[in-house]
């Protein structure tokens, strides 16, 4: 079991060599989370637990857009316009990591 564990960890550790999308460090993620830590007391005033859950969900999408080099306001405005006419099976196309690709396809 220990050899299998070492192999699994080694494969996960060297994944960045095979896939250029995988980052060697998580520094970008930690920098993105710094804003959450600084605003921790403000999150107490989300109104309710459900409000806090929604705020956290939206904040994670906005940070994901930033990490993917997408303007969060442009992404949110576009998604807001497209969402009413989007089927449930097409919603993943509107997520930040897929949105940039779909915008390039529209431009061609």
pLDDT tens figures, 69-106 = 899 999 999 999 999 999 999 999 998 888 865 554 45
Residue 102 exposed, middle or buried by CB count within 10 Å (0-12, 13-18, 19+) = middle
pLDDT digits (tens, 9 = 90+) for 11-61: 877 888 888 887 778 787 787 777 766 666 666 667 787 887 888 788 888
Q: Output the pLDDT for position 19.
A: 83
Distance of CA 94 to CAs 80, 88, 103, Å? 10, 11, 10
């Amino acid at each position: 079991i220990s050899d299998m564990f070492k192999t699994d960890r080694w494969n996960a550790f060297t994944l960045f060599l095979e896939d250029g999308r995988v980052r060697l460090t998580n520094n970008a993620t930690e920098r993105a989370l710094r804003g959450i830590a600084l605003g921790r007391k403000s999150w107490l005033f989300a109104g309710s637990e459900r409000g806090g859950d929604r705020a956290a969900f939206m904040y994670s999408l906005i940070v994901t857009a930033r990490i993917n080099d997408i303007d969060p306001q442009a992404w949110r405005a576009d998604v807001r316009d497209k969402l009413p006419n989007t089927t449930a099976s097409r919603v993943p196309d509107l997520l930040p990591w897929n949105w940039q690709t779909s915008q390039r396809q529209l431009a061609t």
